[in-house]
Amino acid sequence: MTTPTEPYVLNIGPQHPSTHGVFRIRVVMDGERIQDIDMIVGYLHRSMEKLAEERTYTQNIPFTDRADYLAAMSGNLGLCLAAERLARVEVPERASYLRVIFAELQRIASHAMANGTLVSDAGAWQTPLLYMFREREKILDLFEMTCGARLTTNYMRIGGVAFEPPPEFWPALLELVDELPERISEYEELLTQNEIFIARTRDIGVISPEDAINGSLVGPALRGSGVPWDLRKAEPYCIYDRMEFDVPIGRNGDVYDRFMVRLAETRESVKIIRQAVENIPDGSHKTDIPLALRPAPGEVYGRVEGPRGELGFYLVSDGGPAPYRFHIRAPSLINLSLLRELARGASLSDAVVTLGSIDIVVGEIDR
């Protein structure tokens, strides 16, 4: 004689300590097992794509800051690259080097946040997060020194970067780059052999390479599944083709692999920054463009390898100062396509950890 049971609905609502922003999941649960989930987004929809049709390309750069607010430099870079391709603007070499330095600094900061919040979701009361934030604070101080803002930097311009970094930037950057590798080793030591962490992340949220590719997964999540794809190597932009760095890939496609891939990528970013600082030439930091740039009619799909994956900008121009169509290909939204299959049958704790490992930023999802 069994007691009748029925599934209940748990609403992991827009306000929650671990949903990485205003992101809502309606979970139908049977005891501790998830039967089905429904993701409800749109709490941060700011109609960026519509507003961008009334603003010039340069005026649209701050939108990209606020789309993926944890990777503002990458967003800026993507839009500037796409617009430059559309309008055929040449970028001076020094500007390219500066762009690479800032993009990689942003990658380190973003991965620190992603990994830290993942471990916090797994239960370590923000200790690893705050340790990783030491470096992120220094990086944000560097940003503030250069462009005045920590988070929404608005630093790249069509044709280069906005400002030349001040003289005190370079010694601070070199100091940070010197002490980062041993800090990363410290994090590796603390976490990667920790049995509880391994028990919480190993064989959880496994994505096979076929599912990953078909599900339009990109970024460290795709690389964690073993697929060696990185836009910096495949379609080198700026001066990435002159940089020597490796692309780490995972073996199993579980949460642990995605975590380790991000940690390894921070090491590679440090290498890139060091090479860029050594080889940076003198020159101007941007080319002059008209106030309202009018690219020839046409379209472009420009993309960069942001911390979350392929951040693409599809721009259609009709010859006017504003883009006719401005579309942001948001990796966070598209990486979520697989979440439903991953969460079915998992327990709630596992689903939370899996969501943390996919690394979403709601600003980018909703735009």
What is the nearest approach in angstroms of another protein to the Cβ of residue 265?
9
Distance CA 222, CA 250 (A): 9
Rounded to 10 degrees, the C-alpha dihedral 63/138/23/81 comes to 30
- Residue closer to another protein by CB (options 195, 282) is 195
Distance CA 204, CA 258 (A): 11
Distance CA 49, CA 219 (A): 23
What is the nearest approach in angstroms of another protein to the Cβ of residue 218?
8
- Residue closer to another protein by CB (options 214, 284) is 214
CA atoms within 13 A on the CB side of 214: 5
Which residue type occupies 23? F
Angle between helices 93-122 and 72-87 (to 10 degrees): 140
- Residue closer to another protein by CB (options 33, 283) is 33
Q: In this structure, what are the phi and psi dihedrals at residue 151, rounded to the nearest 5 degrees?
A: -105, -55
What is the nearest approach in angstroms of another protein to the Cβ of residue 31?
8
What is the nearest approach in angstroms of another protein to the Cβ of residue 328?
9
Residue 343 corresponds to which tokens in the numbers above?
Answer: 């969460």
- Residue closer to another protein by CB (options 42, 283) is 42
Q: In this structure, what are the phi and psi dihedrals at residue 330, rounded to the nearest 5 degrees?
A: -90, 115
Paired with 314 in beta bridges are 301, 327
Among 278, 282, 289, residue whose Cα is nearest residue 162:
289
- Residue closer to another protein by CB (options 168, 284) is 168
What is the nearest approach in angstroms of another protein to the Cβ of residue 21?
14
Which residue type occupies 323? P
- Residue closer to another protein by CB (options 131, 163) is 131
Secondary structure E strands in 133-231 = 156-157, 160-161
- Residue closer to another protein by CB (options 90, 175) is 175
What is the nearest approach in angstroms of another protein to the Cβ of residue 213?
5
- Residue closer to another protein by CB (options 8, 242) is 8
CB contact at 8 A, 178 and 171: no
What is the nearest approach in angstroms of another protein to the Cβ of residue 40?
9
What is the nearest approach in angstroms of another protein to the Cβ of residue 230?
6
Among 18, 38, 19, residue whose Cα is nearest residue 28:
38
